[in-house]
């Protein structure tokens, strides 16, 4: 029932809200039970399956065209970013049984982690804080903190270092 109601809201006032109105979309999601920090941003073309399963901390962002299939809890830590076209897949099916019942599993994305464009995140995955997942990667297993991970399946390739912007001559 809530899903139908949310579907109507999402395809109208949410979808066609002007891009800078993050506070408005934040409010809509919170009205449907999302646990959002007031500075969390969800862009208008993102699709959230069930806002009541979504939790976003301060400055966490979900970009346009992300499909957040949150049948189970999806948690984004502080300043975590999920870029365009990514797919947070929060449920699988038990393929051993002929009627394939739905098996929801939670997804946790640590603080400061950046999921780049068009990444697939499988059900039940936890990604550590401050990691980076490269574009078009597919994440099937848990990923550690402070790593740059790429590929299908995504694997850590090197440490992530954060320099201050002064190092870039800014």
Give me the least distance between CB of 14 and other proteins, in Å please: 16
Query: Is position 122 an interface residue for other proteins (rule: CB under 8 A)?
Result: yes
Q: Is 19 buried (19+), middle (13-18) or exposed (0-12) by CB count in 10 A?
A: exposed
- Give the footprint of other proteins on residues 7-46 (CB under 8 A): none
Q: Residue 21 to residues 17, 33, 147: CA-CA distances in angstroms?
A: 7, 19, 33
108 or 137: CB nearest other proteins: 137
38 or 153: CB nearest other proteins: 153
The stretch near other proteins (CB under 8 A) out of 14-22, 55-63, 87-95, 105-113 is: 87-95
Q: Which two tokens stand for residue 92?
A: 């699988």
The label of the residue with tokens 């990667």 reads 137
DSSP letter assigned to residue 53: G
Query: CA angle, corner 64, sides to 60 and 69, nearest 5?
Result: 75
Q: Out of 21, 142, 152, 157, which residue is the one contacting other proteins (CB under 8 A)?
A: 152
**β-bridge partners, 56:** 36, 76
Give me the least distance between CB of 86 and other proteins, in Å please: 11
Residues that bind other proteins (CB under 8 A): 67, 69, 87, 89, 92-93, 95-98, 100, 120, 122, 138, 140, 152
């Amino acid at each position: 029932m809530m899903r139908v109601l949310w579907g109507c809201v999402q395809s109208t006032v949410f979808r066609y809200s002007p891009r800078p109105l993050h506070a408005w979309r934040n409010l809509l999601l919170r009205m449907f039970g999302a646990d959002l920090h007031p500075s969390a941003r969800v862009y208008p073309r993102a699709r959230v399956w069930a806002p009541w399963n979504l939790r976003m901390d301060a400055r966490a962002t979900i970009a346009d065209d992300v499909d957040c299939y949150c049948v189970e809890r999806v948690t984004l830590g502080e300043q975590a970013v999920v870029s365009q076209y990514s797919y947070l897949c929060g449920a699988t099916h038990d393929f051993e049984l002929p009627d394939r019942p739905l098996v929801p599993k939670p997804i946790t994305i640590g603080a400061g982690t950046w999921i780049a464009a068009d990444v697939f995140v499988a059900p039940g995955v936890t990604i550590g804080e401050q990691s980076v997942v490269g574009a078009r990667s597919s994440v099937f297993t848990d990923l550690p903190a402070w790593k740059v991970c790429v590929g299908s399946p995504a694997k850590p390739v090197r440490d992530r270092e954060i320099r201050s912007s002064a190092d870039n001559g800014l």
